[in-house]
Structures are given as structure tokens and as C-alpha cells.
Homo-oligomer: A and B are copies of this chain.
């Protein structure tokens, strides 16, 4: 049975016009921002969006603004045609796929009078985390505390880039509800805080992690794992589950829980970037579990960096 086919929109103004016209007809708009190379985790975000809104927009855009020069922007996997097929096969489908070419190209801007760096001068590539190459892009959204810990330690410009591109997408798509995956727990909390602090008229939904059969959290980066590392990587979710069970049994000492988890993952061959138990909202490290916490880890298997987490609500 063929589901409906998504309209593909690449132009910012056309995207905003679509939303406004649909809203004027009484529809609510749900939005799922992605960087493409979709997997079941993304599709579950779309399903959650269907429970929240009448019409669904999914964006597919690999945001250069959140990658450091030494990160994997150029090798980030993509499969646009496959993505569209997957989205069309979700129950209820999606209404629009927003697929802009370059969100940092302000060629038509009222401000661009020639004094701006333009796309050609910068070699056609936006590396906006390095502001001098950003074609004059210089407005950034910072969520100053939440952006600092966890992934912020090893990826200092990452959340600045995420918060900024999400703001841009919110202003273009103008949704009523947005769905983010809890797999990127810090990102979800940052967006939630940003929406509150900047008074976006948008509801933010956190969607549960979708896992492979052996527990590995779904991620576009999983395909980069060698077959052996793919097997070993299941140690991450195993370690987190065990911590959750131990905490429920009464082990509230975070140091103990973390050490056990690190051991499990290291023995499987993973290199720990961080393993922290933090408050679910402030993301500040916790020593003893007394209120809702989340156990977050980032682990490298080979060159592939994976993140995962588990909420512990005692």
C-alpha cells in the first residue's frame, strides 16, 4: 500500500509560506530536524510527531556549523533517495521534506551589498564554526551552561552550531511541535532550554531511544563500525542497563556505577570519552542519586564515536 508522497521543498521562503498557508487552514505543524541517512530511530521521531500534530515536516540538512574542521563533515553519510523512500513508508507518511542547499548562503539578503564574503570566495563550503569563513554569518545562539559539559568538552563548537541551525530551522519551518531524540540527550535538553529562554512558541518532545536487537542505540554512524566493533559496541547499552538495574537495587553511589560501566565497555575494547551520571535537567554531575539522573557515555570503537544514555528515575 503506497503511503502519500512528501513534497520536497528546498527554498526557505517557500517552506515558510507552506507552513503559514497550512496553519491558516487550521492545521498544526510537527517538525523533525535530521541530518539525513535515516534509520528506524528517525522514523520513530516521525511517528511521535504524528501523535502531536496534523502535518509533518522533516528537514534533511547536514549542518556545517556544528562540525569542527577536524570532524567528519565531509564523510558524513548520505542517501537522499533512500531517505525519501523511508519517510514515504512511515505510517501516515510525511507532508514535506525540507532539504535546503545551504542555510548560510545569504546571497539575496538585503544586507549583502558586496561587502560580504560570498559563497564563491569561501570555496563554496561553509565552515561556520570558524567564523571568518562563514560568509559573514556571525549570529550564534549559545546555551551557555548546558553546552559546556559532556559532549561539549570534546566538541567545543558543536552545540553552538546545533542551537543556531535549529533556531534557523524553527524560524523557517515555524512549527508548533518539534521532536528530538533522547539519544542525543544533551542536545534535547539544550533545545528545550533554548525554546524556553528565547520564548519560541514551540512544544519540544523528547523521543525515546530506539535500539538494535542487541541493544546498540541506533545512529547514522553505526554503519561506519567494523563488523567486530559492531559486535563489541553492544557493551555500551549492556553497561548502561546494568547500572540502571544496580541503581534500582539500591546502589546510589555514582562513582561505583560509573566504574563498573567503564570496566564493561573497556573490556569490550571501547575507549571512553566520558562516562558521567548527571542531573536530568542541569546536566551537572551527581555524586549520589537522589533525584532523576541520566547516565551518559561517549565511547570510541575504532574511529567511530558513539553516544548513549539511560535515564534513572528512582
Contacts and interface: CB of A to CB of B under 8 A. Distances in A.
A199 interface: yes
Given A106-B196, A171-B201, A281-B115, A141 B143 contact: no
A201 B131 CA distance: 23
A142 interface: yes
Interface string A125-166: 000000100000111111111100000000000000001100
A24 interface: yes
Q: Is the interface of A mostly helix, strand, loop or mixed?
A: mixed
Contacts of A197: 106, 137-139, 168
A112 B224 CA distance: 39
B144 A163 contact: no
Contacts of A281: 111, 113, 115-116
Nearest to A24: B24
B171 A139 contact: no
A200 interface: yes
Contacts of A110: 192, 196, 204
Interface string A169-212: 10110100000000000000000111011111100100000000
Nearest to A20: B23
A16 interface: yes
A144 to B, nearest CB: 5
A279 interface: yes
20 contacts: A12-B199, A20-B23, A103-B199, A106-B196, A110-B192, A111-B196, A113-B281, A115-B291, A138-B145, A139-B142, A139-B144, A139-B194, A139-B197, A139-B198, A140-B141, A140-B142, A167-B199, A168-B197, A172-B199, A172-B201
The 6 tightest CB contacts between A and B, nearest first, are A139-B197, A168-B199, A171-B199, A139-B194, A138-B144, A138-B145
